[in-house]
Structure 1
Amino acid sequence: MDHAGAVSVGQLLVATQPGRGGYFDRSVVLLIEHQAQATVGLCLNVMSEIPVHNVLSDFTELMSPPVGVFEGGPVNEDVVVALGEPGSPDSPPPGWERISGDIGVVDVNFPSELLATSFTQLRVFVGLSAWAPGQLESELIRGSWFRTGARAEDVFGDPGGLWRRVLRRMGGTTGRWSTWTDQPSNN
């Protein structure tokens, strides 16, 4: 995917400048909404300490490992968003809104008795990553993020090492960032 061009739903934002600390250090964010008023995403690789039974316990059986709640971001921490992969991508269930490919937002009020026959994978997030109008574009101009397309394995796979895996997949000069050591003093 072209790393330039317009920001759009379904893109991954991959943090640059690792080792600086802060919430978004080595984060991978899936953009789920992009409008003139705001851009909204979910951080895919930050686990929450909130017990899953406190959020959407009906979703637990279909959650991709590691089973747990993820921190979608530091904004609106009371908002719950579920992402799912439908069992039949050609005829997805009502209450599922496509983001990219087989990745979509699941209505958190989806009937629990239909979950197992409707979805193959689920992930639950608390909080959002959000940008005001023009804010994300400014961060992109400053070089704070790389962009690429999202894949189901990015969203529902092992969150450990996701930042490195996505960078490697991007290849080229961007892929070299994946070799950044956890101990910058070792460089």
Structure 2
Amino acid sequence: MGDVRAGMLLVATPGLLDPNFADTVVLLLDVDADGALGVVINRPSAVPVSEVLDPWAESCAEPEVLFRGGPVSPEGALAVALLRDADAAPVGFREIDGAGGRIGLLDLDTPVELVADTLAELRIFAGYAGWGAAQLAAEIEEGSWYVVQGELPDAFGEDPSQLKREVLRRQPGDLAWLSTRPLDPGLN
């Protein structure tokens, strides 16, 4: 997976029919020889963060709900944070390699008052997506994913329903055309 690295996005292709990932955008958090880990960033749930992790609710980006991060460990929570200043990383923050220093994982056991002033954005995910060694490379090879560069605001947008279209639209060449593809092209 030479060109696939943390901080990049996986955008589901129309051929990816697995209900866990159809029409998703995944932010890769970690990629190495043992596999890859990421979170689906465009699937909000109906569960307000205040019902599950109340101290963090005020720090979360709109909509202030848990996001369904993936099918692995859906009872657990991961927090992705965007710092105001890359040079002021708080305790409990681990930068996502290759993502510019401002975006990373935040340990939810860290007291909110120690980090709240350092956060520009925060999003909490229930579960995550994981791939074993060579599994993601095989899925990319078979055409299940477009691999594109992520941008800092991608994980924190107010309207996640438009994220896939926005990410594709900013790509060069043929990928930009796919942003206008209807869900069911047979209806055209």
Find the residue that maps to 1:40 and give its secondary structure.
strand
User: What is the one-letter code of the residue matched to 1:120?
Assistant: A
Distance 1:77 1:120, change over 3 A: same
Distance 1:141 1:18, change over 3 A: closer
Find the residue that maps to 1:160 and give its secondary structure.
helix
Q: Could you tell me which runs of 5 or more consecutive residues in structure 1 were left unpaired when the two chains were aligned.
A: none
Q: In the alignment, what sits opposite 2:72?
A: 75
**CA contact under 8 A between 1:19 and 1:182: conserved in structure 2?**
no
**CA contact under 8 A between 2:11 and 2:24: conserved in structure 1?**
yes
Q: Does 1:97 align with 2:94?
A: yes
**CA contact under 8 A between 2:93 and 2:104: conserved in structure 1?**
yes
What's the offset of the Cα at 1:96? 1.0
Q: In the alignment, what sits opposite 1:134?
A: 134
Q: Does 1:184 align with 2:188?
A: no
What's the offset of the Cα at 1:86? 1.4
Q: Does 1:22 align with 2:23?
A: no
User: What is the one-letter code of the residue matched to 2:3?
Assistant: A
CA distance in 2, matches of 1:124, 1:80: 7
User: What is the one-letter code of the residue matched to 2:108?
Assistant: V
Distance 1:11 1:164, change over 3 A: same
Moved more, 136-145 or 81-90: 81-90
Q: In the alignment, what sits opposite 2:113?
A: 113
Number of equivalent positions: 184
Q: In the alignment, what sits opposite 2:81?
A: 84
What's the offset of the Cα at 1:24? 1.1
Q: Does 1:58 align with 2:59?
A: no
Q: Does 1:169 align with 2:170?
A: yes
Distance 1:150 1:49, change over 3 A: same
What's the offset of the Cα at 1:183? 3.5
1:24-68 Cα distance to aligned partner (Å, 9 max, x none): 111100011112222110000001233313432211112111111
TM-score by length of 2: 0.90
1:3-22 Cα distance to aligned partner (Å, 9 max, x none): x8432111100111168462
Q: Could you tell me which runs of 5 or more consecutive residues in structure 2 were left unpaired when the two chains were aligned.
A: none
CA distance in 2, matches of 1:69, 1:105: 15
1:95-121 Cα distance to aligned partner (Å, 9 max, x none): 111111221111111212123212121
TM-score by length of 1: 0.90
Q: In the alignment, what sits opposite 1:152?
A: 152
**CA contact under 8 A between 1:59 and 1:115: conserved in structure 2?**
no
What's the offset of the Cα at 1:132? 1.2
**CA contact under 8 A between 2:16 and 2:144: conserved in structure 1?**
no
